[in-house]
Structure 1
Amino acid sequence: MLDYPTLKIIWWLLVGVLLIGFAIMDGHDMGVGTLLPFVGKNDIERRVVINTVGPHWDGNQVWFITGGGAIFAAWPLVYATAFSGFYWAMLVVLWALFFRPVGFDYRSKIHNLTWRKTWDWGLFVGGAVPPVIFGVAFGNLLQGVPFQFNNYLISTYTGSFWQLLNPFALLAGVVSSAMITMHGGTYLAHRTEGVIQTRAIRGASIAALILVITFVAAGFWLQHIDGFRITSAVNSASLPDPLNKTVIREAGAWMLNYQRQPLLWILPALGIACPMVAVALMKMRYTLSAFVVSSLSLIGVIGTAGASMFPFIMPSSTMPSASLTIWDSASSHLSLGIMFWATLIFMPLIVLYTSWAYRVMRGKVTTTQIEANEHSAY
């Protein structure tokens, strides 16, 4: 079995892969939902938009569920603390997600314009709200979350829901929303044609511009935010004990990893350059390439946040020394080892069946297809 410190790093990478997989796979159908009321101008056009993601949106939820499960199993202290501190924010995400299954299943069951428009806006909420909340959560992680531990390692959240809605976190929410909207637009551009494709490209282009501007603005702002730095010796093989270290806050601390490892600058470079490249490719109608490049931009944006915070997972603004890192909040050596081998078996299976499903459902969705399948299409 791999040694304990190596497994801790591997699981930091694997959780990152799961979060990126969720953003790419579930993110594009959330982006489609966000664009739905604006790209489809009538019922038949909106049905085209919905059917680009209708057959596989629920399969993409695997990434979301697996990511949450991995955090629970690999970082139990992080899971318990985050889901307590972000409780109301998580409920908002859950309530928004309720609109997706019922919206997809019931939206076209009744031939009533008001009914269908209502569910169109429900699908918009289910696609637009979660990315904003996830972005706000990352914005708060970069500033530190107000929680602390007692001597029994019982965490107490000392903030409120409204504290989460601070200016930097809201900016991070805009970054996340623009990123997912752009990604959904590139997917729509690939799966549609004609006027719907043109509107999708326009929507994705606007979102890409907002993404680049806000991502750069957040980067400059982050340099002036007090980050976190461990000043005591770190025992990477120790059992979970977040109180057994000394942490200080200082401006520019989140930039230290980039100074030590200059190759990490590739990540923010991807987040800035790839959206513009994706827009150019869409306008030339290289839509599949645009979707791949858009996926790279998601890797860049999410990877930038992860690389900035490493080795921190959930810093504490109330009690900096209680901040959770990959070294002192992981599960046991045995648990991480068993999960690692299980992941090596099941992750390729997920990728294989997902690839097969997308291959089977490839091609353009047209108004002619929807009209010919009036009673079976979404």
Structure 2
Amino acid sequence: MILSDLIDFETLRVIWWGLLGVLLIGFALTDGFDMGVGALLPFVAKTDVERRVVINTVGPVWEGNQVWFILGGGAIFAAWPPLYAVSFSGFYLAMFVILAALIVRPVAFKYRSKREDPTWRERWDWALFAGGAVPATLFGVAVGNVLLGVPFHLTQDLMPMYDGSMLGKFVGLLRPFALLAGVVSLSMLLMHGAAWLSVKTEGAVKDRARAIGVTAGMVAAGGYALAGLWLAVGIDGYAFTAEAVTDGPSNPLLSEVMRGGSWLSAYAERPWIAVAPLMGFAGIALAVMGLKAGREVTTLLASKLGILGVISSVGLTMFPFILPSTVDPDSSLTVWDASSSHLTLFIMLVCAVIFMPLILMYTAWVYRVLWGKVTEDEVTGKSDTLY
């Protein structure tokens, strides 16, 4: 018996759908507060010393946090090749903008302290702001477009095709619902960044972060509720018109899909998935209350719970669809027809079982070593301070 036969193809597909969600959520929970802190930097820190305090709360950990982003991209490439091809070609300019912002961020970290000129440092502070705010917003816009559907179709040889220019495709992503999703994403990560600063800082910086975090959390909750209402009454969902073959070949054109109805019908079919939006609202509410009350670790944990619930609700609502097509619903990518082969998914799963615990243990060790507040005395009194 071949080892890969120990787990059937259908189960492997669901496992890798879940693992992709875990990697993306892991990125949001870790690098999410990095982006939130960067976006908050010009507003929570008024002096150079305060800004150095804020920067040093994330400076030692942001590179490790981006491992989750790399793993997520690698998982899409290896486990879901059609998804990688369709999304990276259709969202090419948006991805370029995100990557440019993420590249600017480490440059700003390294170059800000090279000169003591206030103008020089202020420019790099705004670069850090862009490196946090731009990806946080565009990731949400991307999620909004996934729920709306993307205008692509597959040729008979499974080549993805888009109409229009690259710029036109980018502008076409900026639809009202997608922009709302971007607002939810940005405000949620601002809240998360504020929760992190409440743990890592003190004094005026902490107070400003708490105040902004409360507002951001309320915006996130309101935007999330509005998005749910919009999905219920104004956006078509997708469904199979014939029974899906869950262990068949990875060819989306073999499926029969229709556009219509509501995405939220999934909650009638699988009522248990309502736990995800409940976690989203509960986590955000607890984080807002924690920020108001001045609680620290529990507020950060509540913020993580809210992010977990919000992102999970998207995947669970859409399952088994991954990337719907507005041009040709039959070209839509689903869990059942857009994966790599059975053997590839099995080998990758073995690797994940070996390496994921190592990554988690290393990450936990790093945070344990670096735990504690960053103070003004620390950043001004130590010559080995990084930033």
User: Do these two structures clear the TM 0.5 threshold for a shared fold by scoring above it?
Assistant: yes
Q: Distance in 2 between matches of 1:226 and 1:131?
A: 26
User: Structure 1 residue 182: deviation in Å?
Assistant: 0.7
Alignment match of 2:198 (pick from 189, 207, 217): 189
SS of corresponding position for 1:148: strand
| Secondary structure, aligned partner of 1:239 | coil
Superposed CA deviations along residues 255-276 of structure 1, whole A, max 9, x for unmatched, are 1221112121111112112112
The question of 1:48 aligning with 2:53 is answered yes
1:152 matched to which residue of 2?
Answer: 157
Partner in structure 1 of residue 284 of structure 2? 275
Aligned to 2:120: 115
What residue in structure 2 maps to residue 241 of structure 1? 251
List 4+ stretches of structure 1 deviating above 6 A: none
Give 1:331's aligned residue. 340
2:323 aligns with 314
1:216 aligns with 2:221: no
Amino acid aligned to 1:50: I
Partner SS, residue 318 of structure 1: coil
CA distance in 1, matches of 2:288, 2:158: 49
**What runs of 5+ residues in structure 1 fail to find an aligned partner?**
none
Aligned-partner Cα distance in 2 for 1:278–1:96: 27
Distance in structure 1 (CA, Å) of the matches to 2:171 and 2:290: 40
Write the letter of the residue equivalent to 1:34: A
Q: Give the Cα separation in 1 of the matches to 2:159 and 2:270.
A: 35
Residue matched to 1:33: 38
The CA RMSD over aligned residues, in Å, is 1.0
- Structure 2: segments with no counterpart, 5+ residues: 1-5
**Aligned partner of 1:124 among 118, 122, 129:** 129
Secondary structure in 1 matching 2:386: coil
TM-score (norm 1): 0.98
- Which residue does the alignment assign to 2:172? 163
* Map of 1:228 onto structure 2: 238
Q: Which amino acid aligns with 2:255?
A: K
Deviation digits for residues 192-237 of structure 1, max 9, x if unmatched? 0111111111111111010001000000001120111111121111
Give the conservation status (yes or no) of the 8 Å contact 2:192–2:213.
Answer: yes
Deviation of 1:66 after TM superposition, in Å, equals 0.3
Q: TM-score, normalised by structure 2?
A: 0.96
Q: C-alpha deviations, 1:162-183, integer Å up to 9, x for none?
A: 1100100000100111111111
Letter in 1 for 2:30: M
After superposition, give the CA deviation of every residue in 1:287-328 in whole Å (9 maximum; x if it has no partner).
Answer: 111111100100111011111110000000000011000100
Deviation for aligned residue 1:158:
2.4
Identity percentage over the alignment?
51
Equivalent residue of 2:314, what SS?
helix
User: Partner of 2:46: helix, strand, or coil?
Assistant: coil
CA distance in 1, matches of 2:135, 2:211: 23
1:226-375 correspondence to structure 2 within 5 Å: 226-252=236-262, 254-374=263-383
